[in-house]
């Protein structure tokens, strides 16, 4: 008999077996030592609760009388929700965004799949600065495209020359993620402006529009007064994928959106494609009740000070323990260098001390580990001893 599942999927399962094994061993450790004695930094699951006003609005909407309350709505989403988000984004980006430029999606992951399906012809390339969220490669592959990783600089800022060199005749888009998972980097306004300049030049050179896609679910989780620069201001052929997973701690509810730059070329056909692909890929529409909730919560966010406190606690502790870190400007990840090149081996060492992290190789960033610090402060404090001991084994 031939294998039952697709060869490609079988391969992906094997590839992910290392991280899965670590995950399963983590569960074993928790059984053995008790969950409070295992320091699990492996999951990017927001632990700050949704704001109280979310709870109030949800309760209010559950009581509201309305025909077809949980029924299909237009595939792009409720007009009132898209209008509310368009209005909010207009204020952020300083240009007038209309509801016609919005499509509600099942989270940012859904948004990116819809965008790539709409844009990519088979063999089209998408340039992705690394380290990055590894699922991007799946999303691009789902649509028949090819990911071209371009390594960022040591401080995780964009290597603009390398990006320019990485763009070819086949490049259809560049995908950035700022604040970045796994590094916490926010690309500054100057690098976005310079990136835009490169894309204008290269689009002209190859006679083909290159799209700037920005995955921004962490845009509200930023520290020290930093702001995420607007890609809409910088470059017309730009598209934002975002969600309320982190802004409102709703990761499990799968509520996000696509916003296209009002100045994007061929706008009508692009939006028709996005709406069609939202349906074609089986998302159909973003969940109805959550669409109505987020419409009323534009500009609301979780208490970011909580994440900042955790970041500072972790950075100070690890710096003292001799870790080589770049202080995150946003998101809730720290991506320190490992004292040995083999990040998998170092993650295994940390696990001896019941500290669970993800090897940087899982984020196209070998020689690092990703620490998701969306955990109780006590976990950070109590994990320090393990972090120190693991470092001492190599330094």
Site for a second copy in 140-169 (CB under 8 A): 142-143
Give the number of other Cβ atoms within 10 Å of residue 162's Cβ: 14
Q: Which of 194, 238, 249, 338 binds a second copy (CB under 8 A)?
A: 249
Q: Smallest gap, in angstroms, from Cβ of residue 280 to a second copy? A: 4
Q: Which of 190, 193, 226, 272 binds a second copy (CB under 8 A)?
A: 272
Q: Which of 18, 19, 30, 47 binds a second copy (CB under 8 A)?
A: 47
The alpha-helical segments, DSSP class H, found in 102-183 are 107-119, 135-142, 160-166
Phi and psi at 199, nearest 5°, equal -65, -35
Which segments within the chain are labelled E, that is strand? 39-40, 102-105, 125-130, 146-151, 171-177, 211-215, 238-243, 256-260, 333-334, 355-356, 358-359, 369-372
Give the number of other Cβ atoms within 10 Å of residue 97's Cβ: 24
Q: Which of 34, 70, 155, 225 binds a second copy (CB under 8 A)?
A: 70
8 part of the interface to a second copy, by CB under 8 A: yes
Q: Which of 34, 155, 225, 282 binds a second copy (CB under 8 A)?
A: 282
Nearer to a second copy, 45 or 90 (CB): 45
d(CA 90, CA 112): 21
- Binding residues for a second copy restricted to 206-235, rule: CB under 8 A: 207-209
118 part of the interface to a second copy, by CB under 8 A: yes
Q: Which of 103, 112, 196, 315 binds a second copy (CB under 8 A)?
A: 112
**Which of 296, 311, 323, 299 has the alpha carbon at shortest distance from 388?**
323
> Contact, 231 vs 212, CB < 8 A?
yes
Nearer to a second copy, 58 or 325 (CB): 58
262 part of the interface to a second copy, by CB under 8 A: no
Tell me the sheet residues that pair with 373. none
Using CB under 8 A as the binding criterion, the count of chain residues that bind a second copy stands at 79
Q: Smallest gap, in angstroms, from Cβ of residue 234 to a second copy? A: 19
At what angle are helices 135-142 and 107-119 packed, to 10 degrees? 40
Nearer to a second copy, 253 or 329 (CB): 253
Nearer to a second copy, 138 or 394 (CB): 138
How far CA 284 is from CA of 11, 12, 291, 343, in Å, comes to 29, 26, 13, 40
58 part of the interface to a second copy, by CB under 8 A: yes
């Amino acid at each position: 008999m031939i294998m039952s599942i697709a060869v490609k999927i079988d391969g992906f399962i094997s590839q992910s077996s290392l991280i899965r094994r670590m995950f399963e061993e983590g569960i074993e450790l928790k059984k053995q030592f008790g969950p409070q004695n295992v320091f699990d930094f492996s999951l990017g699951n927001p632990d700050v609760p949704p704001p109280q006003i979310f709870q109030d609005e949800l309760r209010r909407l559950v009581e509201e009388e309305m025909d077809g309350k949980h029924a299909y709505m237009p595939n792009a989403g409720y007009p009132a929700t898209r209008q509310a988000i368009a209005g909010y984004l207009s204020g952020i980006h300083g240009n007038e965004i209309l509801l016609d430029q919005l499509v509600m999606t099942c989270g940012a992951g859904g948004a990116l799949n819809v965008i790539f399906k709409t844009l990519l012809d088979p063999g089209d390339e998408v340039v992705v600065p690394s380290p990055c969220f590894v699922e991007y490669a799946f999303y691009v592959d789902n649509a028949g495209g090819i990911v071209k990783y371009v390594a960022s600089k040591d401080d995780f800022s964009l290597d603009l020359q390398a990006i320019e060199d990485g763009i070819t005749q086949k490049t259809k888009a560049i995908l950035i993620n700022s604040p970045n998972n796994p590094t916490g980097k926010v690309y500054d306004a100057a690098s976005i402006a310079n990136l835009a300049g490169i894309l204008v030049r290269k689009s002209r050179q190859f006679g083909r529009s290159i799209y700037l896609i920005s995955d921004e679910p962490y845009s509200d989780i930023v520290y020290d007064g930093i702001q995420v620069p607007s890609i809409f201001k910088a470059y017309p052929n730009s598209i934002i994928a975002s969600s309320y997973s982190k802004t409102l701690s709703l990761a499990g509810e799968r509520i996000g959106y696509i916003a296209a730059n009002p100045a994007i070329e061929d706008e009508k056909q692009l939006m028709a494609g996005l709406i069609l692909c939202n349906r074609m890929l089986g998302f159909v529409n973003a969940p109805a009740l959550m669409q109505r909730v987020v419409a009323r919560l534009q500009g609301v966010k979780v208490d970011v000070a909580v994440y900042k406190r955790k970041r500072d606690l972790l950075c100070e502790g690890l710096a003292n323990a001799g870790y080589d870190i770049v202080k995150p400007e946003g998101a809730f990840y720290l991506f320190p260098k490992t004292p040995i090149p083999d990040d998998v081996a170092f993650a295994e060492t940390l696990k001896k001390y019941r500290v669970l992290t993800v090897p940087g190789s899982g984020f196209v960033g070998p020689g690092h580990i990703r620490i998701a610090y969306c955990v109780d402060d006590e976990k950070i404090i109590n994990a320090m001893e393990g972090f120190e001991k693991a470092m001492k084994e190599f330094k």
